[in-house]
Amino acid sequence: MLTVALGMTLTLVYAISTYQGKMRKVLIISSFLIVLFGGQRISNEVKSPVMSEYPKVYSWLSTQGGDAILEYPMYTWADGNDNYRKEMYRMYYSLKHKKNLVNGASGYFPDEWQKLVAEVSLKFPDSALVDKIGLMGVDYIIIHKSDIKSDTLEKINLWGKSGFVYSDEFDIVYKIP
């Protein structure tokens, strides 16, 4: 679609530049004004928080060892809602803790990654899944309490007693053995 629009625009510019009639100046000025003022403006701005406004868990995480984290729940744009935007913020917050992030946001999600997201969504905190995540090199799992149901949170708390390392009003962190 963009290629077609670009082709039409270039054709119009060429036609106007070769036009020698009385209206040439009017066409050139009109074209310039359309380019300058026409089109759709960006209407959706997202304010990025400053580091001092990041959730507390990321400051804590920045002082810990380890190389990789997984944040639960995981989201993709294929979920059919706006939750995938949280993944963009999680990537942004990783500037603070400087650890690799299993989560992420992109226009392309490889099949293996989509399978992992589905498996985590359906099975977590299954011990075989947690072992698999650990073998991938993940050191910590961050649980975002406000994003999960209370019965799921209870299951996670029972599972994670031995790996519990951090909690605040919004998040819980478990270390993968």
* 75: amino acid identity, one letter: Y
pLDDT in tens, the chain (177 residues): 556 666 666 676 677 667 677 777 777 777 777 766 766 666 667 788 888 899 999 999 999 999 999 999 998 877 777 888 899 999 999 999 999 999 988 878 888 888 999 999 999 999 999 999 999 999 999 999 999 999 999 999 989 888 999 999 999 999 998
- Whether the CB-CB separation of 137 and 67 falls below 8 Å is answered with yes
pLDDT computed for residue 5 by the predictor = 61
pLDDT computed for residue 8 by the predictor = 66
